[in-house]
Structure 1
Amino acid sequence: MMKYLQNIGKSLMLPIAVLPAAGILYGIGYWIDPIGWGSNSILSAFLIKAAAAIIDHIPLLFAIGVSIGMSKDHEGTSALSGLVAFLMITSLLSTDAVAMYRGVDISEVPESFGKISNAFIGILSGIIGSSCYNRFKGTILPDWLAFFSGKRCVAIVTACTSILVAVLLYFIWPLIYAGLVAFGTSILGLGALGAGLYAMLNRALIPLGIHHALNAVFWFDTANINDLGLFWSGADGAVKGVTGQYMTGFFPIMMFGLPAGALAMYHTAKTSEKKKAAAFLLAGAFASFFTGITEPLEFSFMFMAPGLYLVHAVLTGISVAVCASMPFRIGFNFSAGLVDWILSFKAPMAVNPWMLIPIGCVTGVIYYVVFRFVILKFDLKTPGRAEYEDTVEISSTKGNDSDFVKIAAIILEGLGGKGNIKELDHCATRIRTVINDYTLVDENAIRKTGVAGVIRPDKSTVQVIIGTKVQFVYEEMKRLL
């Protein structure tokens, strides 16, 4: 079950990667017309509407993205299946349709059906689409139905399956929705403390790869919170000084805290390992600061020093709680890095974006002092304190194909060779493999490439944390296979 949830989390990275486009369009649009939000400028209105076309259809993007991501060969037919499932379910359970089934006025239909087009249903549709694709893509039908054999039958099977799922959801969706709303409302009722609790859980669930499920409740319109969407649109339900509370406190962590933590890890590294540690930590710190991508840094100490990662999760919760209690709101479309901070200055719900600088500086000092103290006090094996000979630094490669070929070859050998690879895939920062024999995996050999970490969720799965250059290593591994 955990492995399945991790695969869902991995597949969500595909549609989430589209969100920066919306952030750029929103940001430029609001910079052009920060007061009228598009009403005073045709160009601004055009850009904001273009961004809304992405944000307003996140559930649909999730349906397609998850369906592609969870299909075994990432083939386009699975995307069509996910789309079919989403359209079927949302149409069959729309407010108008339910009112017709029950023979009542639309006003008497439970609120839950008015929210049927949400991230949760999008993810569910993607699961249905990919499952039908994986199961029926090779189906051979009798000659008189041969035209519908193989991949052509997948969409038909998906449609039939979606009808059955819609019937089931007709009865249980109101209960699921009520549960999600109750959870979200309980966190909202805790104010800043609730925001901090959410943020701490967000970081704590990253090792399991299921933090996106939690994000769907608070960032998107799954449980009437929609912090991300309302921050950028200023639509009904947005409250100045409140909306954005589940995003703001991540900026001090990603732009200042983690880079300062990286500096502490560098200063505490062994003298003989400082040069190697510097290359990796600098790349990770820059990725965190500029784009908000934190996995390369977090995985560098997550499993080798879990106590330090727990400290990081707690500090993240404190940051979000403190920021939520202050007159300070900024938001992101992708992650809490420099780009999104600049773009959010003129967003409808932005409040004192400049406050990030003093808060971030304080956060950086706290991270450096706490990380340095904990590392030295407990002699933690952070980068530069665990020795690996003959290391090839991924972070130092400049796009040289031979470097990636060498790294891919070492990783492949460490995974037990070609014959031990059953499935190969990747997400934003990780190589993901399914293997035949776990005893053939040599983690130390893999770590010699300078990777951020090696995760083994179970006996058949190995994940190698590469960082932002994962695609290049993945492509070389595919060629080697």
Structure 2
Amino acid sequence: MNVLGYLQKIGRALMVPVATLPAAAILMGIGYWIDPTGWGGNSAVAAFLITAGAAIIDNMPILFAVGVAYGMSKDKDGAAALAGLVGFYVLTKLCSPGAVAMIQGIDPKAVPAAFGKINNQFVGILTGVITAELYNRFSHVELHKALAFFSGKRLVPIVTSFVMIFVAFAMMIIWPVIYNGLVHFGETIQGMGSAGAGIYAFFNRLLIPVGLHHALNSVFWFDVAGINDIPNFLGGAKSLAEGKAVLGITGRYQAGFFPIMMFGLPGAALAIYHAAKPANKARVASLMIAAAFAAFFTGVTEPLEFSFMFVAPPLYLLHAFLTGVSVYIAASMQWIAGFGFSAGLVDMVLSSRNPLARDWYMLIAQGIVFFVIYYVTFRAAIGAFNLKTPGREDDEVGGDAAAPAAAPVASDNASLAAGYLQAIGGNANLASIDACITRLRLGVKDSALVDEAAAKRLGASGVVRLNKENVQIIIGPKAELVADAMRGLKGGVAAAPVAAAAAVAAPAAAPKVAAGDLVLVSPITGDVVPLEEVPDPAFASKAVGEGVAVRPTGKLVVAPVAGTIVKIFNSNHAFALLADNGAELIVHIGVDTVKLGGQGFKRLAEQGARVNAGDPVLELDLAYLEQNAQSVISPVIVSNVDQFAGVANVATGSVVAGQTKLYTLKAK
């Protein structure tokens, strides 16, 4: 993975701990609404809510260690999060002032002040990154049988604790240098006052297209460079009492975003609508109204920003500049409001009675002015430079690849996931799946294979090709749900990828369904289990296809019929076979075995190979699978059963791989 791709990975992992902030904002915001003058001193309920929210804010370093470790782990497993917690405790304890004095044999008073600040978000992020790398490397390691209990994921916290000892010794040397550098950077920006806040906001918007704004935000919103803007603001009265917050100053890296997100961008949306061609106004209106409402109410701006980001780059540069100006003005005037999620109406209302909020209502007046500024400047620029904003695209025969997202052709997450999977070139082109608030972040083998027009037909606002191996698809707040559905498809538990895999592995047209019944032999020696009893709802409900399952007792997996292996998943836990009569077959070993990362499986045939019934395809380590898999029950299904008359003559009892007839696929 290149540097940009790795930074992307860290950036999206940061969203896991940041996602806890809305909870703190809601709890503390309601508390301050109940008791706006006593800040919990006059109301037990307010004190209860404010304290509950503060519990999140006060433990942000730990949340970063746990969240980043989880977010960067290859299979998003809780074991990585636990290891992150272990690593953070070991590192911060060894680097505490008392431990440093004892280990180095010096007077506690001589310990550098930096070690008094070791419990911070930067160290949490560092711990999370290191832990995730250890998890990805050691989570599937098998130890000697005498130590088998500590194999796999149980090994990771042990390895992490030992590695953190060495990291702690390194930190004893380099942490004072890093800390002083970060403090100097923070003091430099803070020393620039309101101008520094404006510069930050300008680059915040410029980094949106590549998703690196999250990394920049961690510097200005959290205690990475001595600023800690959001936690101190949400901390309200407590932050003031502890001297961590300054009235009129804390929140200046946040407040100026409210006029942009609530008013400026909706003004831009109105300008884009008025500039659209008459024939396209209805379509553009539906897009702009939905995007503008999302920006105003929740502060989610990416659907609107991506509608003009690439088709009209000068407008986006203007937008970034105006954002910087807005943040500068709000900071200069000390009009302050803060947010836990984004600068929308919800966060403005919640923060309005925070003790640190100051003349927050002036941000509304500023917003009205920026609505006019955005409308006038965008409308003038679109006309003067003939920018191809939504609704102004050149008419093309056969489609509109540059047009903004049309209404989605499907609304349920499973259908969208299958559609986006095909749009990026299928499983064969997919390396990794992740998501943040509004975008799918995908690792691919070749970004040139991604069909942007197809993605937009599914409802995407835009497609960002960062490089050959990294692509982002902007789809709105459903991104995480769609990503989860795509992970299921990538794992081989849905029928849609079979056709895509067939198209990749065999570009020629698939054979038509032939006349006559097709008899499948059992691919595994074992005991037959009805499909309804498979401990996976996708298979048990027959949503994936029709067939039967086998509980393996033998280690060899063979082809159930003659045909072409169109897909063997990277983890070797499943394969798809296109039979000579057009039947699409899936042999899936165990349940949720994709998480084993290939452990317990040995590939004996290659993708694209021609096989006959009974030819070996996989070899299993049954002892390992029975110990580590959720279940070894293995479905053998026909995913396109609707093209046939159904399944009949299903075997019962014990079956032998390559010999026993498993079931018959009846021709129509």
> TM-score normalised by the shorter chain: which range applies?
over 0.9
1:314 matched to 2:321: yes
- For residues 8-87 of structure 1, what are the structure 2 equivalents within 5 Å? 8-87=10-89
Unaligned runs of 5+ in 2: 490-495, 498-668
Report how far residue 472 of structure 1 moved. Answer: 4.1
CA distance in 1, matches of 2:204, 2:253: 11
Q: Which has the higher strand share?
A: 2
Higher RCO by CA contacts (8 Å cutoff, separation 6 or greater): 1
| Among candidates 203, 206, 222, match of residue 204 of structure 1 | 206
- For residues 280-291 of structure 1, what are the structure 2 equivalents within 5 Å? 280-291=287-298
Who is 1:300 aligned against?
307
Q: Which has the higher helix share?
A: 1
1:427 matched to 2:436: yes
| Among candidates 426, 440, 444, match of residue 453 of structure 2 | 444
Who is 2:339 aligned against?
332
- For residues 226-237 of structure 1, what are the structure 2 equivalents within 5 Å? 226-233=228-235, 234=237, 235=239, 236-237=243-244
1:358 matched to 2:358: no
CA distance in 1, matches of 2:332, 2:85: 41
Report how far residue 107 of structure 1 moved. Answer: 4.0
Who is 1:190 aligned against?
192
Cα contact 2:233–2:250 (8 A) shared by 1 = yes
| Coordinate RMSD, CA, aligned | 2.2
Q: 1:366 to 1:39 in 2, by over 3 A?
A: same
After superposing the two structures, state which structure 1 stretch, 40-49 or 468-477, moved more.
468-477
Who is 2:144 aligned against?
142
Cα contact 2:406–2:457 (8 A) shared by 1 = no
Who is 1:217 aligned against?
219
CA distance in 2, matches of 1:174, 1:382: 50
Q: Per-residue CA shift, 1:191-223, capped at 9, x if unaligned?
A: 111111111111122223222222222212223
Q: 1:49 to 1:417 in 2, by over 3 A?
A: same
| Among candidates 368, 382, 398, match of residue 375 of structure 1 | 382
After superposing the two structures, state which structure 1 stretch, 350-359 or 441-450, moved more.
441-450
CA distance in 2, matches of 1:214, 1:123: 13
Report how far residue 280 of structure 1 moved. Answer: 2.4
Report how far residue 14 of structure 1 moved. Answer: 1.7
Q: 1:365 to 1:129 in 2, by over 3 A?
A: same
**Amino acid of the structure 2 residue aligned with 1:242:** I
**Amino acid of the structure 1 residue aligned with 2:466:** P
Q: 1:278 to 1:409 in 2, by over 3 A?
A: farther
CA distance in 1, matches of 2:30, 2:410: 31
CA distance in 1, matches of 2:211, 2:295: 18
3-state secondary structure, aligned to 1:325: helix
Q: 1:453 to 1:11 in 2, by over 3 A?
A: same
Report how far residue 104 of structure 1 moved. Answer: 4.2
**Amino acid of the structure 1 residue aligned with 2:207:** L
Q: 1:159 to 1:381 in 2, by over 3 A?
A: farther
Report how far residue 323 of structure 1 moved. Answer: 0.7
Q: 1:393 to 1:440 in 2, by over 3 A?
A: closer
**Amino acid of the structure 2 residue aligned with 1:455:** V
Report how far residue 395 of structure 1 moved. Answer: 8.1
**Amino acid of the structure 2 residue aligned with 1:240:** L
Cα contact 1:279–1:393 (8 A) shared by 2 = no
Q: 1:92 to 1:137 in 2, by over 3 A?
A: same
Q: Per-residue CA shift, 1:133-188, capped at 9, x if unaligned?
A: 11111111112221111111111111112111121111111111111111111111
Who is 1:108 aligned against?
110
CA distance in 1, matches of 2:448, 2:404: 26
**Amino acid of the structure 1 residue aligned with 2:457:** K
TM-score normalized with structure 2 length: 0.68
* Alignment size in residue pairs: 479
**Amino acid of the structure 1 residue aligned with 2:166:** L
Cα contact 1:296–1:468 (8 A) shared by 2 = no
3-state secondary structure, aligned to 2:431: strand
CA distance in 2, matches of 1:405, 1:269: 33
CA distance in 1, matches of 2:312, 2:260: 19
Report how far residue 127 of structure 1 moved. Answer: 0.7
3-state secondary structure, aligned to 1:346: coil
- For residues 370-409 of structure 1, what are the structure 2 equivalents within 5 Å? 370-386=377-393, 389=399, 400-401=411-412, 404-409=413-418
Who is 1:152 aligned against?
154
Q: Per-residue CA shift, 1:388-408, capped at 9, x if unaligned?
A: 84899978569942xx55544
CA distance in 2, matches of 1:393, 1:313: 21
After superposing the two structures, state which structure 1 stretch, 252-261 or 467-476, moved more.
467-476
After superposing the two structures, state which structure 1 stretch, 436-445 or 165-174, moved more.
436-445
CA distance in 1, matches of 2:429, 2:261: 37
Q: 1:207 to 1:440 in 2, by over 3 A?
A: closer
Deviating above 6 A after TM superposition, structure 1's stretches of 4 or more consecutive aligned residues are: 390-395
Who is 2:135 aligned against?
133
Q: 1:406 to 1:275 in 2, by over 3 A?
A: farther
| Among candidates 427, 432, 435, match of residue 418 of structure 1 | 427
- For residues 236-255 of structure 1, what are the structure 2 equivalents within 5 Å? 236-255=243-262
Q: 1:52 to 1:262 in 2, by over 3 A?
A: same
- For residues 446-465 of structure 1, what are the structure 2 equivalents within 5 Å? 446-465=455-474
3-state secondary structure, aligned to 1:138: coil
CA distance in 1, matches of 2:261, 2:8: 23
CA distance in 2, matches of 1:426, 1:17: 13
CA distance in 2, matches of 1:346, 1:156: 46
Cα contact 1:28–1:343 (8 A) shared by 2 = yes
1:261 matched to 2:252: no
CA distance in 2, matches of 1:198, 1:400: 37
Cα contact 1:262–1:281 (8 A) shared by 2 = yes
CA distance in 2, matches of 1:374, 1:449: 30
CA distance in 1, matches of 2:34, 2:331: 28
Who is 1:468 aligned against?
477
Q: 1:122 to 1:381 in 2, by over 3 A?
A: farther
Cα contact 1:429–1:469 (8 A) shared by 2 = yes
Cα contact 2:405–2:457 (8 A) shared by 1 = no
Cα contact 2:408–2:457 (8 A) shared by 1 = no
Cα contact 1:139–1:150 (8 A) shared by 2 = yes
3-state secondary structure, aligned to 2:472: strand
CA distance in 2, matches of 1:169, 1:372: 54
